[in-house]
């Protein structure tokens, strides 16, 4: 093998290394990958210069020898490597950073560079008339275009979507009836990740014709709608008041734009109401929707409003008993015991900003009571750096003072009315006879209390840090219960 043969073989070896580097190189740093490709391209240029081969001229040895054919191949490979490097440089230098992540634009730019390189290679290496070639290719392109008309429609629709930018990768969108997160955009389709965790491919031509709702724009404003159907036997003004309280009791709802409740449809079997609230994060959409539904159910039930659209009865005979049954530590009590406690419940009404409840770790036993919200919304507050800080809002069925009425251990806490609030107050004296007569019930109630506090992450707040009694946490709570209720 003479010198020319070895150099040409070395040139093909360089191209093979370039292909392997492009296909299998696992370097994550793009600059390192680009440096490798620049080095291999420089080596190929050196090979061509050594053999006196120029990619801008027809290959030497034009007598049809194998050397001539191999030289032409090396020139074509040089144009291919040059197109690869130019496309990378243009993408980094021309396209803005936000657009560089868009696969469609990257492919368009790369295609233009490679087409230009192919035309230049044909003109310089083969010395063919480019004008005639372009004319012939234009006619051929028309035939191909008719054959792949639907694909071309997707491609050009993708270009239009990219120009108008109705959404970006990572946005939550609705395209027609399809909803999900945009995970990829290609020449042909947009890929969404739907709520079921499946990938849905929406052709670009379909997306261009459909209604597109971008739920991530503007970035800090997202609407959540909930529809409720209520029996027409109940006055709409009363239903709307209950649903507005449900909005107040829902966490994370923005003050502006203002949430709203609208009666939309009246029918002989129901009236349909729409609740519209706004939140700052699209990821909380379903969490907020579930919370609005839960609050709506609780506030409607608190006002005796039946969700059975074919029922016209609003009579509610066991409201107090159901409130007590909803408190987990009372679930082991018999119906007679619940009935006795319900008779001891004292009703009270508070208006906006009125203080409902205030207790601390040093409060006297006489002030300890259980406050159960029957309607309206109240704010739970605690002191932080001399100011009242809202912990959460509570609604119908929620209660404050569980640990205080049972064990005498309380934390510094306030309960203030947000609007008009109706509550029931249950004093510790109503519970004492049951605990003295049935000590085992007291232990069951303590276990329920501990489960509730552990679930609510409040157990460390309800037990003062200075408590130094021995034994387990349950033993300390049991000791407090026996002291408070005079149990042997």
| Integer Cα distance of 421 and 377 in angstroms | 6
Asked if 294 and 246 sit in the same domain, the reply is: yes
Asked if 411 and 441 sit in the same domain, the reply is: yes
Has residue 153 been placed in a domain?
Answer: no
Asked if 9 and 79 sit in the same domain, the reply is: yes
Asked if 242 and 207 sit in the same domain, the reply is: no
Picking from 147, 181, 204, the residue at the C-terminal end of a domain is: 147
Q: What is the pLDDT, as a whole number, of residue 291?
A: 92
- Strand 199-203 and strand 189-193: the pairing is antiparallel
Segments in the chain below pLDDT 70: 1-8, 19, 21-29, 62-64, 67, 94-105, 108, 130-149, 152, 309-317, 361-367, 453, 455-474, 488
Q: What is the pLDDT, as a whole number, of residue 141?
A: 59
| Integer Cα distance of 474 and 485 in angstroms | 16
Asked if 137 and 173 sit in the same domain, the reply is: no
Has residue 249 been placed in a domain?
Answer: yes
| Integer Cα distance of 275 and 265 in angstroms | 13
Has residue 465 been placed in a domain?
Answer: yes
Picking from 89, 121, 147, the residue at the C-terminal end of a domain is: 147
Has residue 377 been placed in a domain?
Answer: yes
Quote the number of domains for the chain: 4
Q: What is the pLDDT, as a whole number, of residue 289?
A: 93
- Radius of gyration of the CA atoms of the chain, in A: 38
- The CATH number assigned to the domain holding 425 equals 2.60.120.10
Contact 277, 288 (CB under 8 A): yes
Has residue 65 been placed in a domain?
Answer: yes
Domain containing 297: what range? Answer: 222-302
Residues 145-197 pLDDT 10s: 555 567 767 777 877 887 778 888 888 888 988 888 899 887 778 899 988 88
- The CATH number assigned to the domain holding 269 equals 3.30.70.100
Asked if 96 and 207 sit in the same domain, the reply is: no
* Residue 262: strand, helix, or coil: strand
Asked if 184 and 251 sit in the same domain, the reply is: no
Listing DSSP states for 199-234 in one string gives EEEEEHHHHHHS-EEETTSSTT-EEEEEEEEE-TTS
Has residue 311 been placed in a domain?
Answer: no
Asked if 34 and 14 sit in the same domain, the reply is: yes
Asked if 226 and 210 sit in the same domain, the reply is: no
Helices within 364-431 (DSSP H only)? 402-407
Q: What is the pLDDT, as a whole number, of residue 462?
A: 43
Asked if 424 and 377 sit in the same domain, the reply is: yes
Has residue 310 been placed in a domain?
Answer: no
Picking from 194, 214, 234, the residue at the C-terminal end of a domain is: 214
- The CATH number assigned to the domain holding 196 equals 2.30.30.60
Q: What is the pLDDT, as a whole number, of residue 350?
A: 94
Asked if 348 and 434 sit in the same domain, the reply is: yes
Contact 202, 189 (CB under 8 A): yes
Residue 452, C-beta contacts closer than 8 angstroms, at least 6 positions apart: 328, 329, 402
Structure tokens at 219: 């970035």
Has residue 344 been placed in a domain?
Answer: yes
Asked if 275 and 199 sit in the same domain, the reply is: no
């Amino acid at each position: 093998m003479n010198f020319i043969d070895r150099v040409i073989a070395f040139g093909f070896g360089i191209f093979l290394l370039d292909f392997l580097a492009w296909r299998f190189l696992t370097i994550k740093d793009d600059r390192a990958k680009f440096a490798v490709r620049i080095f291999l391209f420089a080596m190929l240029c050196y090979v061509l210069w050594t053999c006196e081969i120029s990619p801008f001229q027809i290959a030497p040895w034009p007598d049809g020898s194998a050397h001539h054919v191999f030289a032409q191949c090396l020139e074509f490979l040089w144009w291919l490597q040059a197109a690869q490097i130019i496309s990378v440089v243009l993408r980094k230098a021309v396209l803005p950073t936000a657009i560089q992540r868009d696969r469609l634009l990257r492919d368009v730019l790369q295609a233009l560079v490679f087409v230009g390189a192919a035309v230049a290679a044909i003109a310089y290496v083969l010395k063919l008339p480019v004008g005639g070639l372009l004319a012939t290719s234009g006619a051929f392109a028309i035939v191909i275009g008719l054959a792949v008309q639907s694909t071309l429609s997707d491609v050009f629709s993708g270009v239009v979507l990219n120009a108008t930018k109705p959404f970006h990768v990572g946005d939550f969108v609705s395209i027609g009836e399809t909803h999900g997160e945009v995970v990829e955009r290609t020449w042909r389709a947009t890929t969404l990740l739907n709520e079921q965790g499946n990938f849905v491919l929406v052709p670009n031509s379909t997306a261009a014709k459909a209604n597109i709702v971008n739920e991530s724009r503007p970035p800090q404003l997202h609407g959540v709608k909930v529809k409720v159907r209520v029996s027409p036997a109940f006055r709409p003004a009363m239903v709307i008041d209950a649903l507005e309280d449900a909005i107040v009791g829902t966490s994370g709802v923005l003050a502006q734009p203002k949430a709203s409740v609208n009666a939309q449809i009246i029918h002989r079997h129901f009236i349909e109401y729409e609740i519209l609230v706004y939140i700052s994060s699209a990821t909380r959409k379903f969490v907020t929707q579930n919370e609005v539904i839960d609050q709506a159910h609780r506030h409607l039930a608190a006002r005796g409003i039946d969700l059975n659209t074919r029922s016209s009865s609003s009579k509610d005979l066991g409201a107090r008993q159901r409130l007590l049954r909803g408190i987990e530590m009372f679930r082991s009590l018999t119906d007679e015991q619940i009935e006795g406690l319900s008779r001891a419940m004292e009703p009270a009404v508070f208006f906006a900003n009125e203080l409902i409840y205030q207790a601390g770790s040093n409060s006297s036993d006489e002030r300890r009571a259980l406050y159960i919200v029957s309607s309206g919304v109240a704010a739970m507050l605690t002191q932080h750096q001399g100011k009242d800080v809202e912990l959460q809002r509570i609604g119908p069925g929620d209660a404050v003072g569980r640990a205080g009425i049972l064990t005498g251990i309380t934390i510094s806490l306030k309960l203030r009315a947000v609007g008009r609030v109706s509550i029931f107050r249950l004093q510790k004296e109503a519970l004492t006879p049951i605990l003295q007569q049935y000590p085992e019930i007291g232990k069951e109630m303590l276990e329920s209390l501990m489960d509730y506090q552990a679930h609510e992450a409040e157990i460390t707040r309800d037990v003062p840090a200075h408590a130094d009694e021995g034994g387990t946490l349950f033993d300390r709570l049991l000791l407090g219960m026996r002291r408070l209720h005079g149990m042997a």
